[in-house]
Structure 1
Amino acid sequence: MQRWALILSGYQYQIQYRASQDHGNCDSLSRLHISDNLVQEDYEDVYFSELDDVELPISNTDIAKATKMDPVLSKVHELTLTGWPNHNADPELQPFFERRVSLSVEQGVVLWGIRVVIPQTLRKRLLEELHEEHLGMCRMKSLARGYLWWPNLDKDIEEVVEKCPSCMSVRNSPKSAPLHPWIWATRPFQRIHIDYADYKGQSLLIVYDGYSKWIDAIPVRSMTSSMTIDKLRMLFASTGLPEEISNGFAERGVQIVKKALKCKEVDGKPHSLEHKLADLLLKCRITPHTTTGVAPAELFLKRQLRTRLSLIKPDTGKRVENYQQKMKQNHDRGVIQVKKFHTGEKVQVKTIIQAGKWKWMPGYIHKVMGPLTYLVKVGNRTRYCHCDHLLSCKADLPQEKPNINIFDSAGDVNSTPIHAGVTSPSNAPERIPHSRTQTSDTSDNQPISSADSPPSNPNTPAPITPVKRYPARERNAPKRLIEEI
């Protein structure tokens, strides 16, 4: 039909009614001869699988994109960056105008304190995320106050809970007796409360910490004393031994677990009991408790647990990591592969002759000191060189006797010919000043023991006696007490 509509749209025509008895044209499709020799075609089976109603969590980048498209938050974003006026006449901006001092913008996301301001298009999904485990109205509000905000957030949470058939089907009866609170513990696992809960024939050992409100549910095969001791022993291996075990406050933990599991059953999600317990316990441990005002994980583990809701907050660490990666890519764009040299390989050494002038002098690798550093023999001297100051050389260049000034830098390791004992700059002897007219680095009474050193010349003048670096130290005789007496 769409194809005919496109074809007919190119014509100018008038539609006139004609009765059926006036129709004399043949219907070609109804009178088309069908051949008896039909070709049987083979069809390929196509299988289609669908994800189990799993949605990817909302990230801060999604919120930044939705903020730009939101008609209200886009104005709030601009006013937060440029400055708010002294008066506001727009009723939609009034909630943000009252909080303008605490508003900020980070990576395109509007923040009110530490809470992310959510655009209109993403609020429903985040309400479903908060209400996923059916923890109740108060717990949803406590959890939301640590991550997100928008105008009338508490009212929207109350409306979601009141319209939820699962929550309404398992809601609690009103309390009639006054509550007698327990004395609050002062440290984790000082006092724990234990009890058993039964869910569809499966026994669950409920452990509730009186200090942090940390809750744990352990499936057991039977509710015998030996089974209880074995499960608690495994739990205490991770948490340590408690000072007191009671049954009083565990009923609250049993109530939370059974209520949440029944809500899961009403939702009809085909998850195993272990899956449901894992999701429930994680959400309970990250939700601030109404008594302490702090999440159980922060009191028990001294840290916040990472969840799907953590992704909606801007990640400064990821931004720094991406920036450092770009710096590395820009820096390494023109860098070639690290040069490798081997012992005995001929090289040319970049040598400074004087300030601002240098030349390449022949030498060979005496020892490999590290991935980038080498001991290089240049003439009758040894230098500690970086690979950036070395070039591979295959030509047989004459070994020059370098000028003394060439090795006045820190790269000079030894001022005397290399002997068998020279291994690293730390083992090199102390440098001593030499005369500019000195032409030999060995004295008459110090023979050359290395085969790499050039033979001595009998016509070479005797070297100048080196001047000591430090003056001679005068030592006074010690004064003893018995001599003074």
Structure 2
Amino acid sequence: MEIRDLTLTATKWSEQISVRKINSQIHDNNESVLSRKKRVRELIRTDHMAESNKKSILEICEDFHDIFYLEGDKLSHTDLIKHSIPTPALDENRAINVRPYRLPEAHKEEVNRQINKLLDDGIIAPSRSAFNSPLLLVPKKADASGKVKWRVVIDFRKLNEWTVGDAYPLPNITDILDQLGKAKYFSTVDLASGPDPRKTEAVRNFPEPKTVKELKGFLGLSSYYRRFIHNYSRVAKPLYELLKKDAVYDWKEPQQNAFQTLKELLVTAPILQYPDFSRPFIITADASGDAAGCVLSQGEIGKDLPIAYASRTFNKSERNYSTTDREMAAIIWAVKQFRPYVLGRHFNIVTDHKPLKWVFHVKDPSSRLLRWRIKLEEYDFTIHYRSGKTISHADFLSRIHKADASEGGDKEAESRGQKLAGSATNEKNETVGSEYSGNFSEPSDSEKESIIREYHESLIGGHTGISRTYERLKPYVSWPNMRRDIENYVRKCASCQRNKHTVPYTKMAMEVTDTPYAPFEKISLDCMGPLPLTEQGNKYILTCQDQLSKYLVAIALPNQEAVTIARALVDNVITVFGSPGSILTDCASNFTGEVMRHLCKLLRISRVNTTPFRPQSNGSVERSHAVITEYLRHFICHEQNDWDTLLPTAAFVYNTTPHTSTKYCPFELVFGGKPSMPGLLQRRPSCSSYDEREDFVSSLKERLQYSHEVARKALLNSKEVSKRYYDQKENTVTFREGDLVLLLQQHVRRGRSKKLSSPWIGPYTVVEVTGVNCVLRSGTKRRTFKVHSNRLKLFI
């Protein structure tokens, strides 16, 4: 079709079509025309159309068969319009002339072939202009036989810098799409020699982001299509968590799931409908603890089809809203989001939060609710309640095929042009050189490693980090993926791994210990000291704490030898409260030696040891040490040699104070009642109200059983709360048998500075993994030892 036909009036346009039909009928008997019409009919896809429409479409395409490009056709052109690009600052005396890029010999034949074809077709003509822009080849997708085709492109970037752009307002793409509400069929026009449309294989094969920069690139792609993805903010939230300030880039299962979900949603066909402004709209809004999502749809409620999706995360203050306020905030935001559709017409709001149906009839609303009600006054709507299951909108996409994204189009051509231009000319950038050659020459692999080693490990290298090493090298040498090579080298540097602090450290999830059912079923032992020598000759305190009631027994000792500890345990604990089922201690020799082993075997007591250098494993008794020493500081004499006389009173205060975990006094859980307090609060026992001794015993037994059950539940809840708080900054690392690891030092040799000593030692080999602990072996030695995983990091 000739371009001048487009300027005809509506009447002349109809006449022109009639004339073309007559001309078409005249030439119908031409064999080549009949063959061409047949090929056009075969190439047009109409299997998705109704039969009544299919015939009309095919007829009009046959009538205008000459405007379709078929394989082998000569490209046509028009000279009715003269095209010009304004470059007022340029003329023949000031021209842009970029010297040609050097082409590989293998490409020259293809370039000549395509240029000759364009000359033969009259598309281009020889020129003596002072202007010149370089030519290059970019690959097109392979054909059916697998042969790669090439496209000739021109690098006009230097010329584009001098062009004057057209200033005209761009229409809003959303408004354009909304105007297509009643259209049934959509056609696309493809240039015969233009690039094929990008398909979606690149999205499905998008690699897992390894850096923040790569993650930002993926989120930029997915965010562009967020209008078509229901609850985009909620789905992508784990990925955006990695972009927060001071966040550690730690790719875990939540991030992987979000990444795969977004990739799948990006390559599936959205089922969004075009809006029909003659029908009422429906806004479905929902809120969770940290995000809001909404859907604009039309149709019968329950069978409505979506027009648009929107979602966002709540800010810090919004997360503290009540459930009703969060749901209301989601509605306010949804109505604002879809204001162009619903303002001035009646619409329906669907929610799964029933109280919102009556929220507008509250007689004494809060200031926030009042503000929201005022915002909604200009709208005409009805609120409908539906259960949460019926508004999930989970299956809103169906799968489509993905395609090859190997052909990059203009962007890829630009990228390739930059690479070729960079290697062929230095007219814009400074000269790139290296220590190995005067001109730009990519070093060999061995030279690359030598360069990085020299500028990282030597005295003048100083073991600087990845970015600093890269910035120091960049002015002197460059090669493709140089930063990645530096990163791989620096990460594997043994000295850096030993001497630099790792952020974050490994932090395994808290393991909750078993909670006993009765007092003194499980006890914890520990020693505190040495303290100033008392007049009775004591220097240490042996602490024994029941793990259910938290009852504390504190015993002053002259030394911390195993025999002394065993005797004190028997005299002050076992003969008073009975033999415990198990004892938890640290790994000190006075607790793990032969004396304690024989004592526990004789009394059938199970021994449990904490992980070395892990006092948190016996945290409750460690905390009691702080309480006891704080008490002693208040009342001890100036010489600090009377602490053992204050020890029984300190333990009494501890045992008669309600514990934060059980909410009971330890004394009450052990003896069945509160103690008679000395001083002003002293009270005499009242006359017994029990008629028989058996009644008292029965009542005491019931009271103890009840208090033990309540205390145990409170203790379990306290452990759960502690675990939840502790695990907020969890940084779990999975160690496996055979892994090489470095161990965080706790102590340094006497005479050595801790600040100048390597914080990490090793490497060690992991020979066994038990929960959060690892058993390590040093080199070829047979001796093994157990450590907590929090003190380890992988040795690369």
Task: Report the TM-score when normalising by structure 1.
Answer: 0.27
TM-score, structure 2 normalization = 0.17
**Larger relative contact order (C-alpha < 8 A, sep ≥ 6)?**
1
- From the two aligned structures, give the one with the greater helix fraction: 2
